[in-house]
Each structure stands twice: as structure tokens, then as C-alpha cells.
Amino acid sequence: MNPDVQTNRSLVIAGIFTLVAFVLVLRLLNLQVVDDKWKLSAENNVVRKVVSYPARGLVYDRNMELLVYNQAAYDFLATPREIEPFDTLTLCRILGVEKEMLVKSLKKANEYSRYRPSVILKQLSASRYATLQEQLYKYPGFYVRSRTLRQYPFPIASQTLGYVGEVIDRDLKKEEYYVSGDYIGKRGIEYAYEKRLRGKKGVTYQLVDVHSRLKGRFKEGRYDTTAVTGDNLVATLDAQLQHYGEELMAGKAGAIVAIEPATGEILAMVSAPSYDPGLLVGRVRGKNYAILQKNKDEPLFNRTVSAAYPPGSTFKPVNGLIALDEGVITPYTKFVCHGRASRPIMCTHDHGTPLGLVSAIKESCNPFFWQTFKACLSNYSSTKEGYMAWAENVKKFGLGSSVAADISGERSGNIPSAKFYDKLYRGSWNSLTVRSLSVGQGELLCTPLQMANVAATIANKGYYVSPHIVKRVVSPKGEEEALKFDRFDTGIDPSFFDETTDGLRQVVTHGTGQSAYIDSVSIVGKTGTIQNSSGDDHSAFIAFAPMGSPKIAIYVYVERGVWGSRYAAPIAGLMIEKYIKGFISPRRHYLEKKIKESVLLEPDEVEETNEQEE
């Protein structure tokens, strides 16, 4: 081999080794001298990483009444390798727990890691913490981490506000922010606005001695980060109206939803039966949750958005408006009604005949709305095509889909598709087959929120703003962010709503909705009595007020309430009066008392609990 070539190769190899050695030296210099974060890892035996949890944001109602706030609580932790022999019974007495529970928790912590802290007892009260803090120096290896618990000045709106609970595996996989033991919004506002409410965790690195005594901050706090408090929320709810609605629905099952038509802001969301939101706070949350879950009346179930009911006659105004828009009827079109002798759908009572739209709404005439429905389906080349057009028009009112912008757990209800009927009747069906839809029965299902939104749409003469529960967000610095929501239009001529509203007004002044009547407030509305094969019929009422300048749209549904006029209509009238006037007229106190004292639910076999954290 050429000596020069061999020399060149040797130089190249030597250069490569030199370069590699130089890189390694630089890397070691960076690790050991320049970047001291690795020194932090090496000193973990004397450095404790303490996560500081931010306070969740507060929740206010539309009038800045506090609905949800925070109260200090404390988690009791231990690092197994730092624990020295201690008086077990005394510590148990301080903590208020059984010895077996403490021993079991320490064993579990030791199995998890001898070098990492584990939570031994969650959510100690402030009084327990005060006693413990005085004695903690006697228990090396144990320390306390501060947390906050949700508190409620009023025991209202539990299903709407939601609750906070410990993360589960699904939460951990979904987002890296959380670690085991963290808390997260589970339902309602707490869930929908979790990222705004939770804030940002902070970290503090503490120097501790072998007895777990705090000696100072590591590197003078160079690596510490400060926890950032969550954003505050201003909800659309009116706390007083919400509380009043829950009083009216006590002892009953059903829902009330009230909306401000112009904005889509939800004024009240009452799901009955309900529960005190304070029951799902603290160490007794699991026990109380199990009890509530066993209750046969399902207080955890949010009927305002998750219960899908047939709307009954409260749906008739929608049917009439679609027929007007399709041109198959006019305000002057009249149909004959033979009362109870009418076929194929009989009327509930005898009344003047023939009658037009306004009178048909007032009298809740089943044959009239059957004829309008039939005319809509017959206005196309086939029943199927006509039905599909009708169904699409129904959906423009927000039915058959989720309409809320920021509410969890909302069901879409059901507007049956033509394919559904093709399958059900093997392709052989017509308007007569599905006639129950004309009077809001059959397979038609709507949530109370959707029907309250229909009331708002009629009040607005053809449009609605997405119903929502939060109106603005306020940062910890006080910066306000007004939330914006979409508007949806039915495309129906606004003039058609005048005729419909006239009919709805007559329902309250001279028809089945007179129990909702108020002298000083012009209420328009429609009763509904929904067939129930397993007991008394259900009671429903849709309304808005005042006529001409609506401030509130409302839907009330009372399960097994017999008639729309018996419970739903008076409840709606009382709610409207309470909101618009701020009080109930003395001459209506008898009605208010009667409704509040009416109990439709049977006593539950599962004993409820009022147990809360000490």
C-alpha cells in the first residue's frame, strides 16, 4: 500500500476520534456546568417537587350573584422511604380515620414507590388541617398539599352547574395536563368550561432534610412556577328564578327551561327531582353519588337536555307555521271538526266549526292540524317526498338536533326519517300511517330545551340564537370576554307568526291556558297533554311574554301531570310573573301554594342523604 495513502487514512481516523472526544467533552461540560437542571435530578434525594393547584374559577349568575366558589382543603401525602416510626393511633385520631385505612394507604403508597410521594388521605377540612399542622413535625415523611373544594351558597342548579371529580383513565389518555389524583369537571358548566375554569398548575422545588423538614427553596426558586387561577364565568342563569322554579317543581318529575328570546341566554334550567350540589363535594362525594344513583326518580338525570319527550299539542304551532309557509293553508283556511266523533283523529272536545288557524290553536283542534299535516305531505309528487320536506322544515326550528352551544349531555330528540318509516312499514306508508306526528305524538321526541327554543323562535318571528348558559368570561386580571353565539333562521315569513301568536294569546285568555293568565303581563302560550301508557298523562306548556316585546320564552313539562292546564300552565305563568315583575301578586298566592305543596312522586325506597364534608 502506498505510504502516503496509509498516512492520510491514519490522519482521518485520528481526526474522527478527536472530533468525537471534543463533542463528548462539550456535552459533559454542558450537563455538569452550564445546564444545572441535571444537577436538580441528581439531588432529588433532598429536593421535593410540590405541585401547587390553582383555585378553579368562580361562577356567577347574570346579576353577579355567586353560584360557585372555592374553599380550602388539604391532601395528606407521604414519601415511604422518609417515614420514621410514629404513633399510629395518635395520627389516626388527628386525621379522623381508622387505623386499618391508614395502614392500607401506606402499604399501597410503598408498593407504588418508596421514593415518590403518594396521597394518603384526600381533602382534609380546614379544621383537621389546623390540628395536623401543629403536630406534623412529629411525623417525618408526611406532608400536606393544599387544594380547593367547590362550595355553593345556594343549593340550586346542580345538574346545570355539574360537579368536580377525580380524573379517570380516559381523562389521562385524552390530555397530558392531568396526572392521577387531579380533579376535572364532570358535568354541566364544570365540564363544558373545564379548560377555562381549571387554571394552570404551578410547581415549587423545596429543600428538605432527612426528617422531611423544610429547609428552603431549591436554587432560590429559579425553577418554580406560579399557579394561575382559572377564569371566572358569568352565567346566564337568574339565581332567584332558578330557585323559584325548583321550589315549584319540588315533589315532581319534569323540567322547566326559560330563555331570553333575543339573546338565547338561558334564564333557568330546572330538572326535577334535583339534589343539593354540596352533596358531591369532599370525601363523602362517592357515598352520596351512589345513593343518588340508586334513587328511582333519577335526580342525577338532567331532564332539561337529556330527556326526550313527545311534545303533544305544544308542537301544533310549528305544524301550523310550516303549513302557512308551504302555502297549503292561509290564515283564512278552515276545516270542519266533528269533535269526539272526528276521524281518523278525534278532537278532545266539541267546539265551533269550521274553524281557521287562530281558533284551531285556541281550541287545540286535533282534526285541523291533522288536515294541515296531510296537506303538507300531499303537496309533493309523493308522500315520501312531502314528508322529507316537512321534516326538514321542522328541523329549522332546532328540533331533531343539538341546539345548545355550551351544554353537556344534550340529546338530539327524534324527527323520524323517511327511511325509518320505509323500514318500519316495509315501504308501504302514507300521511294516514304517521298522522300522530300532526299532534306532536308518535315517534316525535323533543327535549325541554328544544321546545323552549321553539318558544323563543316564535317570539322572535322566525329565528333563534343558540341557547347558551355562559355569557362572558373574566380572566384573573379582570379582562372580560363576551361570548358570541350563532343565529339560525327558519326562513318562514315573519307575518305568519302574527296569526300564530294571536291564537296562542287566546289560549291564555279564553282557552286551556287560563291558569297561566296574568292581568298585567300579556302571556301567549299553548297547553299540551301527552298520552302516557303507563299512568297519568303528562302535562306541558309552551309560552313567551310579554306579547309584542318578549323578554322570556319558557317550556314546562311535568311528568304524570294529567293535563297541560293542571300543572305546566300555572307553573309557567308563575315563572313569567316572577321574572318580569319580581314578585307574585297576592291574589295568586293560593295558586303558588297549591303548586308548591303538590307531590306527584312516590317516596323513594333509597334513603337520601344530607351528609357533607365536615
Q: What is the pLDDT of residues 460-497, one digit of tens each?
A: 999 999 999 999 999 999 999 999 999 999 999 999 99
d(CA 274, CA 245): 11
Mean of pLDDT over the chain: 90
What's the length of the chain? 614
Q: Which one-letter amino acid corresponds to residue 167?
A: V
pLDDT reading at 162 higher than 60: yes
For residue 293, what is its C-alpha cell? 344513583
Is the peptide bond prior to 273 cis by the omega test (within 30 degrees of 0)? yes
pLDDT at 125: 81
**Structural element, H or E, at residue 173:** helix 169-174
Instruction: Name which of 239-248, 275-284, 322-331, 589-598 the model is least confident about.
Output: 275-284
**Structural element, H or E, at residue 542:** strand 538-545
Q: Say whether 302 sits in a helix, a strand or coil.
A: coil
pLDDT at 212: 57
pTM for the whole structure: 0.87
- Reported as a single tens digit per residue, the pLDDT across 525-544 is 999 999 998 889 999 999 99
Of the pLDDT bands very low, low, confident and very high (cuts 50, 70, 90), residue 358 is very high
d(CA 131, CA 582): 47
Residue spans in the chain of domains classed CATH 3.40.710.10: 239-597
DSSP secondary structure code for residue 337 in this structure? -
- Find the mean pLDDT for residues 84-108: 90
Q: Residue 34, Cβ neighbours under 10 Å: how many?
A: 8
- Reported as a single tens digit per residue, the pLDDT across 136-145 is 888 888 888 8
pLDDT reading at 114 higher than 90: no
Of the pLDDT bands very low, low, confident and very high (cuts 50, 70, 90), residue 38 is very low
Q: Residue 300, Cβ neighbours under 10 Å: how many?
A: 18
d(CA 433, CA 506): 32
Residue spans in the chain of domains classed CATH 3.90.1310.10: 47-235
Q: Say whether 213 sits in a helix, a strand or coil.
A: coil
Q: Which one-letter amino acid corresponds to residue 438?
A: S
Q: How do strand 59-60 and strand 232-235 relate by DSSP bridges?
A: parallel
> Phi-psi bin for 141: left (phi > 0), alpha (psi -120 to 50), beta?
left
Q: How is domain 47-235 classified at the CATH fold level?
A: Penicillin-binding protein 2a (Domain 2) (3.90.1310)
Instruction: Name which of 19-28, 93-102, 221-230 the model is least confident about.
Output: 19-28
pLDDT at 31: 54
d(CA 25, CA 392): 73
Grid cell 278552515 in the structure block, residue = 334
Q: Which one-letter amino acid corresponds to residue 4?
A: D
Q: Residue 238, Cβ neighbours under 10 Å: how many?
A: 23
d(CA 245, CA 584): 13
Of the pLDDT bands very low, low, confident and very high (cuts 50, 70, 90), residue 613 is very low
For residue 580, what is its C-alpha cell? 318580569
d(CA 251, CA 158): 16
Q: How is domain 239-597 classified at the CATH fold level?
A: Beta-lactamase (3.40.710)
pLDDT at 44: 47
Q: Are 207 and 224 in contact (CB under 8 A)?
A: no
Cα-flanking dihedrals φ and ψ of residue 544, to 5°? -150, 165
Long-range residue pairs from 150-153, CB within 8 A, at least 24 positions apart, any chain = 150/56, 150/68, 150/69, 150/70, 150/71, 150/190, 150/277, 150/281, 151/68, 151/69, 151/70, 151/71, 151/278, 151/281, 152/67, 152/68, 152/69, 152/276, 152/277, 152/278, 153/66, 153/67, 153/69
For residue 11, what is its C-alpha cell? 490522519
